[in-house]
Structure 1
Amino acid sequence: MYAKKEPVIELFIKAGSGGKNIGCCPSSQRLFMILLLKKIHFKVTPVDVHRKSAHLANLAPGTQPPFLTFNGGVKTDTLKIEEFLEDILCPPRYPKLAVQYPGSNSAGRDIFSRFSLYIRNTSLASNAAQERALMHTLEILDLYLTSPLPREPGEGPSKRSFLDGNHLTQADCTLLPKLNVIRVVLGRYRGLDILERFSGIERYMRHAIAENEFSHSCPTEQEIERAYFTIAQSLK
């Protein structure tokens, strides 16, 4: 009996400042992490959004990375790509990445939108209120991370590594790239250390950094800082 042939996959991600390295794009890292977790062979191609080649422009007209080719077919919607990969790269050959607990999917859902409003705000008068709103969403996430999941062994605060347990899931692939951007940008441009403030988030990020699927797909802090240099303007 012949083994089923593996699909040919190429993931196109946003390139960094050099045009080749990994750029600051949570959606790109999200799909990069998922493919790594699926333990499948695939090619990664960084795309310089300012100098997209004619080939790529024809491959996915009007589309910015991330996008993906699967056996020659082009897929451009991040959420639909995630759903497609989970459906077609399924057990027993590939690991399941869906969460066990629904709350893991919604944990941290509003954080990036709050962060975007806060970091783009240039008014000193409204800064405090924007910061409180952002910190509140981080507090909710921290509470989820420190609260034991159903059937979690032991007593007291949760000791799990990730949102849904001790293994990375789709929920982590969605949240961790955004949370890392928030961590770096707040520290660099607003002097806020969220890892110092929130023990659950600190544990979560520490475990993530130790995983190859996160660290290998992650842009450097310098790339993240560069991406937000003109966005995180001084307060007036």
Structure 2
Amino acid sequence: MSDEIAENGTTNGDVPEIELIIKASTIDGRRKGACLFCQEYFMDLYLLAELKTISLKVTTVDMQKPPPDFRTNFEATHPPILIDNGLAILENEKIERHIMKSVPGGHNLFVQDKEVASLIENLYSKLKLVLVRKDEQKSAALRAHLGRIDALLERRGTRFLTGDTMCCFDCELMPRLQHIRVAGKYFVDFEIPTSFRALWRYMYHMYQLDAFTQSCPADQDIINHYKLQQLAAGAALRSAPRPPARPPPALKMKKHEELETPTFTTSIPIDVSDVNNAE
């Protein structure tokens, strides 16, 4: 289909093989793209593959030039797509339900925690508002939301959101935090305050995990993801029957972005020794 970028787990047939098809980079069409849902399910399944309840195969597909076999099998469907024993699951909610109910070990990832669920639910929409509106009020709302997550982590004193082992909520939250770090900084100079020490401690632990680092897109791909969104939004406004008096300028793309060495922001702005001592 396209480039296979990761395999984990055993290959001797004693566990089921799960294939996850994810969006490829919009820069080079090969490496991991910046789809949040793709990374979330990649992390879920990677954790299960580490436990050897499944063997995981991850395949990237360039949706700007999808290969013929992908078009034949899935038409215009966009990844993520999960394939389990020949069965293709195409919708995000169905993929999540399938991991929880049908993938060996998957039920252990899905814990019930209404407080955590409500905290994560609207975080990404606040980032989108910051990138669209670009005003301090929206940035303040995003900082306040992150502050509530920091307060929860500080109060609970656990390594991850619901305990000392990862769950589905961590696989959902951390990719969003990475987009906030990278895209927020690039587009509006937004930074997560260093005073949110429990949140930074959480991110530090996540950066040590293969489940995150193996699934994480490059900074350039996260940035390009939002550039393309803004280009599309600008084009839609300019073609509207009554376009605004001052439509947003079209973003210029670099000519040789595909030649850049991918970078990954995984540093933390607080002392690591302080992080370790806080355990």
CA contact (8 A) 1:195 1:202 kept: no
Structure 1 residues 65-104: aligned runs within 5 Å: 65-91=79-105, 96-99=108-111, 101-104=113-116
Matches of residues 148-187 of structure 1 in structure 2 within 5 Å?
A: 148=156, 158=157, 160-187=158-185
Which moves more between the two structures, 211-220 or 222-231?
222-231
**Counterparts of 2:141 and 2:193, CA distance in 1:** 17
Q: Specify which structure has the bigger relative contact order, considering alpha-carbon pairs within 8 angstroms and separated by 6 or more residues.
A: 1
- Could you tell me which amino acid in structure 1 is paired with residue 119 of structure 2? A
Partner of 2:15: 6
Q: Which moved more, 1:165-174 or 1:99-108?
A: 99-108
With normalisation by structure 2, the TM-score equals: 0.71
Q: CA deviation at 1:166?
A: 1.4
1:21 is matched with which residue?
31
Q: Is the 8 A contact 1:90 1:96 kept in 2?
A: no
Kept in 1: contact 2:113–2:162 (CA 8 A): yes
**Mapping of 1:182-221 within 5 angstroms?**
182-194=180-192, 196-221=194-219
Structure 1 pair 50–73 and aligned structure 2 pair: CA distance change class (3 A): same
Detail structure 1 runs of 4+ shifted over 4 Å in the superposition: 230-233
Output the amino acid matched with 1:120.
Answer: V
Cα pair 2:99 2:107 within 8 Å, conserved: no
- Offset at residue 37 of structure 1 (A): 0.8
Find the aligned partners of 1:171 and 1:179 in 2 and give their Cα distance: 12
Matches within 5 A, 1:37-116: 37-39=47-49, 40-91=54-105, 96-99=108-111, 101-116=113-128
1:33 to 43, 56, 75: 43
What 5-or-longer segments of structure 1 have no aligned partner? 149-157
Mean Cα deviation higher: 193-202 or 214-223: 193-202
Q: Secondary structure at the match of 1:96?
A: helix
User: Deviation of residue 100 (structure 1)?
Assistant: 5.2
Contact (CA 8 Å) 1:187, 1:193: kept in 2 or not?
yes
List per-residue Cα deviations over 1:167-187 (Å, max 9, x = no partner): 110111111111111111112
Which runs of no fewer than 5 residues in structure 2 stay unpaired? Answer: 1-11, 232-247, 250-279
Measured at CA, do residues 48 and 38 of structure 1 come closer, stay the same or move farther in structure 2, by a change above 3 Å? same
Q: Compared with structure 1, are the counterparts of its residues 195 and 38 closer, same or farther at alpha carbon in structure 2 (3 Å cutoff)?
A: farther
1:131 alignment counterpart = 139
What is the distance in 2 between the residues matched to 1:49 and 1:184? 23
Count of matched residue positions in the alignment of Structure 1 and Structure 2? 217
User: 2:158 matched to 1:144?
Assistant: no
Report the RMSD for the aligned CA atoms in angstroms: 2.3
Which letter does structure 2 place at the counterpart of 1:145?
L
The superposition leaves residues 50-106 of structure 1 with CA deviations (integer Å, 9 ceiling, x where unpaired) of 001121112222211111111111101122212211212345xx6711225332333
Over the matched positions of the two proteins, sequence identity in percent amounts to 30
**Using the alignment, how far apart are the partners of 2:146 and 2:65 within structure 1?**
37
Q: CA, structure 1 residues 59+230, in 2 after alignment: closer, same or farther (shift >3 Å)?
A: closer
Q: What is the Cα deviation at residue 197 of structure 1? A: 4.1
Contact kept? 1:32, 1:217, Cα under 8 Å = yes
Q: Which amino acid aligns with 2:79?
A: P
Is the 2:23–2:32 Cα contact (8 Å) retained in structure 1?
Answer: yes
1:189/1:232 contact within 8 Å kept: no
